[in-house]
Structure 1
Amino acid sequence: MKRIRIIAILLAGIFGASSVNAQEVLTLQHAIRYALENKAEAKKSALDLENAQYQIDEIRGAALPQINGVASIKSNVIIPEMVFEMGGNVIRAKMGQPWNSNAVVSLNQQIFNQAVFTGLKAARTTREFYQVNAQLTEEQLIEKVATAYYDVFQTQLQLETIQTNLNSTTKNKNVVNGLVGAGLAKKIDLDRLVVAINNLESQKQQVYNALQLKENALKFAIGMPIENPVVMPKETFAVDPSIVLQEESLDNRTEVLLMQKQIELYEFDKKSKVAGLYPTLSLGADFGWNGFGKGFPIGGDFAWPKSSAIGLNLSIPIFTGGATKARINQADIQIRQARVTLEDTKLGLSLANENAKAQIKNSLLTINTNRSNVGLAKEVLSDTENNYKNGLATLTELLDAEKALADAQNNLNTSLLNFKVAEVQLIKAKGQLKTLVNEK
């Protein structure tokens, strides 16, 4: 039975290795690029940007000549009559023909319309607004992917730590098993090691399950099919302490740029409301036929006299009951509210930036401490193992030393994750999140 189990483990290792070799390693850069190409947010942002151009075209279309054609045909079942008196006689006369038809082509061109002109000026700002909004969507997606990616990697490191501890405990169990067989050790020590191994196996399974959930969350974050396997590279947690010394400007933050463009659009909206106080002037022209006859227009007794006209249309607002002024005041309130929101956003970004710097500084100190603890814990475990083999240390001391090493390694991994998350926030503060896409 034991031999069959060993063969099964070897086969699983062989096939598992083959599967890993066939899989592409998912680096952070690859994950971000995949998300920018496949995630729904990125696709919707690209469609919003495309739709923005159509909205701009619609605004521009209002300033171009408007040409319309209208045609109609009507059969007068009862021709209306008019009664009038002439020379003392009352005369009744039919006014019209059994069939009437008309066809007119009309043209209207805005000559002066302040609202249309304001819309044309706002068109460029509208395009810039959607471009900045698309950039913000990409940055938010990059931040989300980076955070999920590092979370997966930290859990994977935790799993590796448990496996290392499990290997060490299993090795000690094998040694104690031999000593028990030779009568040089107590069976209770062997039993305690078996219990420790079982606990580590259970802990390993729990962390492995958590890893699968986090991998699925990462796949969802980048728009990857859940069934696709994920293989993480080694040495992902590179630490660069110099990032704290680099300067950043809140004016470069996409959130600030987007709100500034929004305020510009609100200002144009106010100007369009003010345009309601201005007169409008447009050119109108039409050309057509107004036909009538006793028979159907085609093939019947029908006449087609032509008609044409050209003129100017002037509209002067005199009194609107204060509605225009109220709309202007509402637009002004919207601008002032946006400016207050902008200042509050800057304050929040500044707070997040300072918190990220503090987190990085604390993480650097913690990383150095935890690295030192890992080194000391390894030395303590090595000395305790030797002492235990020579009868100078108890099993409890050995198990405690193994747990201390695992805790030190997990603490180091957590501090590395905290550093990378804070690093992403600092890169975001500089408006340089897209640099994470490039290979380093």
Structure 2
Amino acid sequence: MKYKLTILATLLLGVFAQAQEQLSLKDAIEYALANKADAVKAKLDIQNSEHKIAEVRAMALPQITVSGDLTYNAILQKSALPGDILGQPGTTILVPFGQPWQSTASANLDQQIFNQAVFTGLKAARTTREFYQINNTLTEEQVIEKVANAYYQVYETKLQLKTIEIKYESTSKTADVIKGLYENGLAKKIDLDRMLVSKNNLEANITQTKNALQLQENSLKFMIGMGIQTPIVMPDNTFEISAHVFVDENTTIDNRTEILVLEKQNELLELDKKSKIAEYYPTLSLRGSFGYLGLGSDFPWFSKPADGTYWSSFSAIGLNLSIPVFNGFSTRSKVRQADVAIEKAQVELEETRLALSLDLENAKTQINNSLLTIDSQKTNVDLAKEVLENIQNNYNNGLATLTDLLDAETAYADAQNNYTDALLKYKLAEIQLIKSKGELKSLINN
């Protein structure tokens, strides 16, 4: 029976391991770009821009409408005619005009020949498509940055949990040793109590860290659009130092997507100004119509002249020229407002350039400081580990106190946590440096 239970447990562990998602940073980013709402909506905006272009292009194409109506004149309007016309001088005769029933059916065509606003609108529509394409790239970069930061924070908490569990295991072993010594009268009750208190505190710390880790993992899954119940496993090399993040003096911010978005936005504002100026231009359009008119005393549809209904066709072709002369300076006010909007956008562009330059310099400084901190903390970890091993040996031989041992264990755990925190700060600085270079997509291309 025990043999069967062992086999069953092994199989269940294998199935559980397969069910877990091996989630590298690249996998998390690609998953987010494919599933997160922000990234999906940005792609839909690009699709929608094609429909906007088609909408504006339709203004330059022929506009054809078909219309029809049916009217019953319950009381015909009468007009007053002098009686002389009908041989009754000195009298006025009221004569009804028209027929009780009237119906028309017509087709109308309207074609723009010259309309500067339409031509400008076509250019603006194409520029809008380019704007959404660049904006999609910016949205993807923002998603990448958020996911990377959240991913590294989850991994830091995992390492902190591992450090606490190792310390708990060491403390538990020491507590068992002291318990055995106490039972044999070779240790004090206070020493055993202190170890048990330390052990209980570590148990509580493990529980709190696990809860914090669960919340961070849930937040990461939501951020990438993954099911909250999906278990994930992170690779052990997550905090590796990447050599490709280093920069030289020739690195600039010219290829930053934020700059490209604002420059394209300025183009749109210039086109908006031109659309306002287009109101000064005359417009010329071609109009044409063709239809049928039916009049009679009876219901005209499907009726013939023999039934008292007469149908006749009509057609008209013409040009419509509209020349703006004076509209109370409305167009001038619109153009001036457009000028102000362009000036504001230019100020924003320059401010953004300055801010991005600051981010680049700060990122360079932060990455260098982080590397120095990592080296220092790694040395501290090695020293703390060496000190702990020596004090454990001395304690076992009665040459060190329990206080010395507890202090050494705490110092070693603190050194490991400080080293983990330094690694996290380095990885966050790495993200900012890659972002400052405009190369966030390298996180999924490498």
Q: Above 0.5 in TM-score?
A: yes
Deviations 1:22-67 (A, max 9, x none): 3121111111111111111122112222111111111111011111
C-alpha displacement of 1:86: 4.8
Mapped partners of 1:269, 1:372: distance in 2:
61
Instruction: Give the Cα–Cα distance (whole angstroms) in 1 for the partners of residues 9 and 169 of structure 2.
Output: 18
How many Å separate the matches in 1 of 2:324 and 2:392? 95
Q: CA deviation at 1:192?
A: 1.2
For 1:190 and 1:355, locate their aligned partners in 2 and report how far apart those are by CA, in whole Å. Answer: 51
Give, in whole Å, the separation in 1 of the partners of 2:42 and 2:213. 30
1:372 corresponds, among 373, 379, 387, to 379
Q: Cα distance, 1:240 vs. partner?
A: 2.6
- Amino acid of the residue matched to residue 416 of structure 1? L
Match of 1:233 in 2: 235
Aligned to 1:171: 173
Q: Partners of 1:405 and 1:239 in 2: how far apart?
A: 23
Q: Once the two structures are aligned, what percentage of the paired residues are identical?
A: 55
Coordinate RMSD, CA, aligned: 1.8
- CA–CA distance in 1 between the matches of 2:45 and 2:126? 15
Asked if structure 2 preserves the Cα contact closer than 8 Å seen for 1:20 and 1:231, the reply is no
Could you tell me which of 259, 263, 285 is aligned with 2:288? 285
Give 1:15 deviation, angstroms. Answer: 5.9
Residues 375/13 of structure 1: CA separation in 2 closer, same or farther (3 Å cut): farther
Deviations 1:360-397 (A, max 9, x none): 11110110000010111110000000000111111111
After superposition, residues 263-282 of structure 1 pair within 5 angstroms as: 263-282=266-285
SS of the counterpart of 1:212? helix
Whole-angstrom CA distance in 2 between matches of 1:14 and 1:201 = 30
TM-score by length of 2: 0.93
Alpha-carbon deviations, 1:227-267, whole Å to 9, x = none?
22122221200113562334532121111111111110010
| TM superposition shift of 1:434 | 1.5
1:324 to 319, 325, 331: 331
For the Cα contact (< 8 Å) 1:248–1:429, is it kept in 2?
Answer: no
1:104 counterpart = 2:101: no
Listed as ranges, the matches of 1:118-137 within 5 Å are 118-137=120-139
Which runs of no fewer than 5 residues in structure 2 stay unpaired? 1-7
Q: Alpha-carbon deviations, 1:161-212, whole Å to 9, x = none?
A: 0011111111222222232233332232222111111111111111111101
CA-CA distance at 1:70 after TM superposition = 1.2
Measure how far apart 1:215 and its partner are.
0.6
> What is residue 400 of structure 1 aligned with on the other side?
407
Give 3-state SS (helix, strand or coil) of 1:305's partner.
Answer: strand
Residue 203 of structure 1 aligns with which residue? 205
2:5 maps to which residue? Answer: none
Partner residue, 1:140? 142
Separation in 1 of the partners of 2:212 and 2:326?
69
Aligned letter for 1:46?
Answer: K
> Mean alpha-carbon deviation: is it higher for 46-55 or for 311-320?
46-55
| 1:14, distance to aligned residue in structure 2 (A) | 9.2
**How many angstroms apart in 1 are the aligned matches of 2:92 and 2:14?**
112
Q: Does 1:303 align with 2:310?
A: yes
Distance 1:382 1:362, change over 3 A: same
Distance (whole Å) between structure 2 residues aligned to residue 218 and residue 16 of structure 1: 25
Letter in 2 for 1:343: E
* SS of 1:304 mapped into structure 2: strand
Distance 1:177 1:17, change over 3 A: farther
Q: Summarize the alignment of residues 21-40 of structure 1 with structure 2, pairs less than 5 Å apart.
A: 21-40=18-37
**1:73 lines up with 2:70 in the alignment:** yes
8 Å contact kept, 1:66–1:107: yes
- Aligned residue for 1:312, secondary structure, equals strand
User: Normalised by the size of structure 1, how large is the TM-score?
Assistant: 0.94
* Alignment partner of 1:261 out of 264, 276, 279: 264
Map of 1:49 onto structure 2: 46
State the alpha-carbon separation in 2 of the partners of residues 27 and 304 from structure 1: 78
Gap regions ≥5 residues in structure 1: 1-10
1:417 aligns with 2:420: no
Q: Supply the distance in 2 between the matched residues of 1:175 and 1:108 (Cα, whole angstroms).
A: 98
Change (3 A) 1:242 1:93: closer
Pick which of 422-431 and 94-103 moved more: 422-431
Q: Distance in 2 between matches of 1:421 and 1:353?
A: 14
Shift of 1:427: 1.2
How many residue pairs were aligned? Answer: 430
Partners in 1 of 2:311 and 2:20 — Cα distance? 79
Q: Offset of 1:21 from its aligned partner? A: 4.4
Indicate the residue corresponding to 1:114 in structure 2.
Answer: 116
